[in-house]
Chains A and B, each alone.
Chain A
């Protein structure tokens, strides 16, 4: 990629600056997660910061003598966008609400924009219009039912939600998953990544005005969804990856279907690249737009393709491999400029890398069981129920009471198409989670929008918003 394009955010963007070391640390376990995310679970020991935060006058969580517009730490570039900007007189500004009912806010995101002409001076994302209380609901569902719940959060990558939930529960249970089940999980999640990125390229194209891209993206995604339907019975919200393995083995002839996907979908992707990669209008609309720097990525907790597009080589599949993904070869594509165009390139490359993984799974998938043989977690085979009283009892107990998970807490993250999707689970030894918190990538991406949108135009808002690929079900949960 050449450096010729003019970057409006160039002064903010310094690719040479190394991000601060400690910011790169990601939580590896529950304690780390709590430290990083400042999270406190009711019933555990109250952390000292919480008392300070709820004191009188501390509601803004900011000492009075600190000017938030000034970078207090080296490398930290976060500006509090809620505060007034002294360089723009207030009567020059016009406030406009983009959303929650707007054609291109990807659901019900509301953006509170302050405009000077058509230039955005401040942007404030407002969420909560799709709040469904799923995290709370999880406390009333058994671990068997839990997957049905979490799969609805990020409805464009349901398999990743299910996988994260299954992994975190298995971590507390301490059970081993058969290799075949692991391979099936990776197969489904990687195909899901492609499906999700296809939707993204469709909406990204449409939001910059290339209407046909919308339909093209859908066309290719349809092939993958047809395969999902064949495997799981549903096109989305599959409830397929369950604690202990997957719900069913792959159907007969699945190899042919995957071969077909591997042959047809890359053709479609090549078509998009032909249509968009060098399209001057697409370049004009995306190069240098919605820039986010590595430091800002760290500060806002932005992960996934957005962080990789700004040059952070960070992929949980490499850093903390899960479900046996370390067995497969793939690269982590990164960009340099952190703009919309680099995010486009990164995601296009990621789809190809996912195909590489899928190809390897197709070649190397081991025979074996598709779920764990732990009888406390896995329901007995249907035939055994007719033969054995024990099996019938186990079956009955599993589907009425559910299985019990040892008390403790665990955090497990997977690399969803949008970034780090983590689930933090606290169990008190019962059959239901005592608390389930989901760390979603869309949430972090949306909170970074003010940084990306400052001093851009309305047309850039749509392009930038689309490039962060938020799923509002994932943001609000």
Chain B
């Protein structure tokens, strides 16, 4: 691939990925509202477009035309930088997620991800940590008390859950022997005894910890205490309006889909799945498998929101430090032993 070709292909990938994410958010918001409404004996949005699917677009338009107010005491630069930071970090995470099998056209193979970093896992952890800055800065720079409480909460939450999130991925990396996301998906392509797919979900404790930490990382119920509207009104985005608020909204839903896609990639075999039919179908099917898996996890997110009460701030931290992290550490030990036994046999054998 020549330099120019690489540039063009990457450019196309970036545009497609961006469009895909924005479109996903449009659908995701509608799906969430409809599903939660269904769980709560309501209809949910059903007026704009068929089944109300254009509701998000209408809401977005409304926000676009609304005045963006700035509190007098706000730190203006940080105040407007925070929503941008939120969206940018949310978009950047998606860059390394493979959404389908590599496609070969002519004699060139194109990967269905914007870029395959060798340190993909570390990159994701780094970028998602940066995302917390957006929340913390937004709360602090608003010059208001409820947002400040929200940002303090987000900082505490980040410290408590980032560690668990990273530790949950260690066994995955050990089993896949790579930190590249494409590599991790590749490592899950086989089967156990020709029957069960060799997905990392067999690392069940890791999966559960990752999912819980993911809920906390994306500020979703039952860990949505950064924006708990019953307690601190709107949390960090209380003072935001118009498009600046829309940016936070967009970022939250992109993050939610990212987390679902990452769960699918790390634990549910990514785009792996049964392949059949002509060549074009063999390229399309992986994308469909990937989407199905991601949306199943997305449904988990929505389901939790419809069911669970919100956990308290101190309980959240205690849960992170006293439960999740010790369990992850023990589980890493066990995984190490398992790998050792698999390679060298039992020590007494």
Contacts and interface: CB of A to CB of B under 8 A. Distances in A.
Contacts of B231: 104, 458-459, 461-462
Interface string B289-325: 0000000000000000111111111110000000000
Interface residues of B, number: 31
A284 B315 contact: yes
A399 B272 CA distance: 81
Interface in B1-42: 36, 39-42
Contact of B310 (A94, A117, A208, A461): A208
User: Size band of the A side of the interface?
Assistant: 20 to 34
A215 interface: yes
Contacts of B41: 215-216, 219
A210 B232 contact: no
A275 B315 CA distance: 20
B308 A209 contact: yes
Given A104-B231, A219-B41, A457 B313 contact: yes
Interface stretch (B96-104, B191-199, B218-226, B252-260): B218-226
Given A102-B233, A207-B230, A210-B308, A459 B313 contact: yes
Contacts of A460: 312
Contact of A206 (B36, B230, B314): B230
B145 interface: yes
B149 interface: yes
Residue in B41, B146, B311 whose Cβ sees the most chain A Cβ within 10 Å: B311
B309 A209 contact: yes
B313 A285 contact: no
A282 interface: yes
A205 B230 contact: no
Contacts of A104: 230-231
A282 B313 contact: no
A211 B149 contact: no
Contact of B306 (A118, A207, A211, A282): A211
Contact of A281 (B36, B39, B311): B311
A215 B146 CA distance: 27
Nearest to B315: A284
A25 to B, nearest CB: 39
Nearest to B37: A215
A461 B230 CA distance: 10
Contacts of A102: 233
Contact of A212 (B149, B233, B307, B312): B307
B309 A282 contact: yes
A386 B314 CA distance: 73
Contact of A211 (B36, B225, B232): B36
B203 interface: no
A459 B309 contact: no
A260 to B, nearest CB: 18
B149 A118 contact: yes
A350 B233 CA distance: 32
Nearest to A286: B309
Interface in A104-132: 104, 117-118
B307 A462 contact: no
Interface in A46-86: none
A40 B89 CA distance: 66
Contacts of A282: 309
B314 A209 contact: no
Contacts of A285: 309-312, 315
B187 interface: no
A119 to B, nearest CB: 9
B118 interface: no
Given A282-B309, A285-B309, A285-B312, A459 B228 contact: yes
A103 B230 contact: yes
Contact of B230 (A117, A215, A284, A462): A462
A207 B153 CA distance: 18
Interface in B27-86: 36, 39-42
A449 B315 CA distance: 23
A457 B312 contact: yes
A212 B35 CA distance: 12
A96 interface: yes
A344 to B, nearest CB: 12
Contact of B232 (A209, A219, A458): A458
Interface string A452-464: 0000011111100
Given A216-B40, A459-B228, A208 B309 contact: yes
Interface string B119-138: 00000000000000000000
A455 to B, nearest CB: 12
A279 interface: yes
A214 B306 CA distance: 11
A205 B309 contact: yes
B314 A457 contact: yes
B145 A94 contact: yes
A374 B243 CA distance: 68
B307 A210 contact: yes
A457 B153 CA distance: 12
A212 B145 contact: no
A406 to B, nearest CB: 50
B40 A215 contact: yes
Interface string B168-188: 000000000000000000000
A102 B40 CA distance: 23
A167 B309 CA distance: 42
Nearest to A96: B145
A40 B201 CA distance: 73
Nearest to A105: B230
Contacts of B310: 208-210, 281, 285, 459
B313 A118 contact: yes
Contact of A209 (B153, B222, B313): B222
A281 B225 CA distance: 13
B171 to A, nearest CB: 26
B105 to A, nearest CB: 48
A275 to B, nearest CB: 8
Residue in B41, B233, B309 whose Cβ sees the most chain A Cβ within 10 Å: B309
Contacts of A457: 312-314
Interface in A87-104: 94, 96, 102-104
A8 B250 CA distance: 40
A145 B201 CA distance: 70
Nearest to B311: A281
A94 B305 CA distance: 31
Contacts of A206: 230
B341 to A, nearest CB: 35
Given A103-B229, A458-B232, A209 B224 contact: yes
Nearest to B156: A118
19 contacts: A94-B145, A96-B146, A117-B152, A118-B149, A118-B152, A210-B308, A210-B310, A211-B40, A212-B307, A215-B40, A219-B41, A275-B307, A281-B308, A282-B309, A284-B315, A285-B310, A285-B315, A459-B313, A462-B230
Given A118-B313, A209-B224, A215-B40, 10 more contacts: A103-B230, A118-B153, A209-B308, A211-B305, A212-B40, A214-B40, A215-B42, A457-B312, A457-B314, A459-B312
The 8 closest A-B pairs by CB, nearest first: A209-B310, A215-B40, A210-B309, A104-B230, A208-B309, A209-B309, A459-B312, A281-B309
Interface of B: 36, 39-42, 145-146, 149, 152-153, 221-222, 224-225, 228-233, 305-315
Interface of A: 94, 96, 102-104, 117-118, 205-212, 214-216, 219, 275, 279, 281-282, 284-285, 457-462
